Copies of this chain bind each other. A is one copy, B any other.
Amino acid sequence: MAAETKMHLGVTADMHVHLREGEMMELITPTVDSGCISVAYIMPNLVPPITTIEKVEDYHNQLQKLSPNTTFLMTFYLSAKLTPELVEQAALKKVIRGIKCYPAGVTTNSDAGVDPNDFTSFYPIFEVMQKHGLVLNLHGEKPASKQSELSENEEDHIHVLNAESKFLPALFKLHKDFPSLKIVLEHCTTKDAIDAIIKINQDKLPSEPVTVAASITAHHLSLTVDSWAGNPINFCKPVAKLPRDKQALVKAATSGAPYFFFGSDSAPHPVSAKTRLTNVCAGVYSQSHALSYVAEVFDQVNLLDKLKGFVSDHGLSFYEISEDKLISKRTVSLIKKETKIPEVIGQGDLVVAPFKAGDTVQWVAEWD
């Protein structure tokens, strides 16, 4: 593999994408295509969040105009504003492919989210989703303990480092209560989460389809807590964890297991919102060079042959994206070519710093 300089990746899929609205949307949406992503699964955390058919259709139309060749898969934002009837209607009209669940207050624009201690009020919606094959996308973190309410019992403490691990019992319960519901644990960051996904999949019969999967970002394959300590460009939620967690993520992504696939969680913020004394916005923008970042990690462990599965086949298969559902059938190849990541994307007041700004990467993606 080391000697190869070109690899075929097929129809590439990024199963977790933030494209925002307004000027930021106009700047960032074209970078899905320039980054050689064929299929993009779009997050609904606009302000206000997407909870109506009209809004999701309108947003889809705006994105499609900005990037005509991209297959955009759309989502609702799980909140009290959704009803089972609305979700069924949206499923039948095929305007959404899934619903994103944010615990209230854990990341950018998640104020309208849900209480992860009790999903039961959403069970009627999950019933409809399971029936129609809609995917439930989980931001798998428990909200942090308030400093003023810390108990003496360490087990009760929830902080940015254990928030994902503490969420996993809720994932197991959801899967037990809705065994046929397709669930993705999004942007997972811990060995605990990887182990949970492996366990759920090993516990099912080989003949049963994968219903619980995890997406993994490009940046979490590279970062640890040391990377964002003092580097707001690398600060995101969930935060990157310990070296052992990064090792588990790389092992999972390169394992060839169909229940691990790529979702960049590319989340652009203006540089001005990333360079503050307090309240730095959480999010790493990686869209423009997402495949380069991932390829670099796979190359480092000599497993580039597993890359196509991770950035194409596994995601498309889980989401059941057959060829007839694609806006364009264009495919992508990865080329070995030293390329410098720009310092910023955009100009004037609206500039976004990409992941690894100014660094040199060894591989770039190109449309065939």
Contacts and interface: CB of A to CB of B under 8 A. Distances in A.
A231 B239 CA distance: 13
A232 B276 contact: yes
A202 interface: no
A277 B231 CA distance: 6
Given A159-B225, A159-B243, A232 B230 contact: yes
22 contacts: A145-B243, A147-B222, A147-B224, A150-B243, A154-B244, A159-B225, A159-B226, A159-B243, A160-B226, A161-B161, A161-B242, A230-B278, A231-B277, A231-B278, A232-B232, A232-B276, A232-B277, A232-B278, A271-B277, A274-B277, A275-B277, A277-B357
A235 B243 contact: no
Contacts of A226: 144, 147, 159-160
A159 B224 contact: yes
A233 interface: yes
A290 to B, nearest CB: 19
A282 interface: yes
Contacts of A161: 161, 225, 242
A336 interface: no
Copies in the complex: 2
A5 interface: no
Interface residues on A, range: 35 or more
B280 A230 contact: yes
Interface of A: 144-145, 147, 150, 152, 154, 157, 159-161, 222, 224-233, 235, 239, 242-244, 246-247, 271, 274-282, 353, 357
A72 to B, nearest CB: 29
A276 B231 CA distance: 8
Contacts of A232: 230, 232, 276-278, 280
Contacts of A225: 159-161
B233 A278 contact: yes
Nearest to A148: B300
A63 B232 CA distance: 34
Contacts of A278: 230-233
Contact of A353 (B144, B222, B277): B277
Given A157-B242, A230-B282, A247 B150 contact: yes
Contacts of A235: 229-230
Nearest to A233: B277
Which among A150, A230, A243, A353 has the highest number of chain B CB atoms within 10 Å? A230
Given A157-B244, A159-B226, A233-B278, 20 more contacts: A145-B243, A147-B222, A147-B224, A150-B247, A157-B243, A159-B224, A159-B242, A159-B243, A160-B226, A230-B278, A230-B281, A230-B282, A231-B279, A232-B232, A232-B276, A232-B278, A274-B277, A275-B275, A275-B277, A277-B357
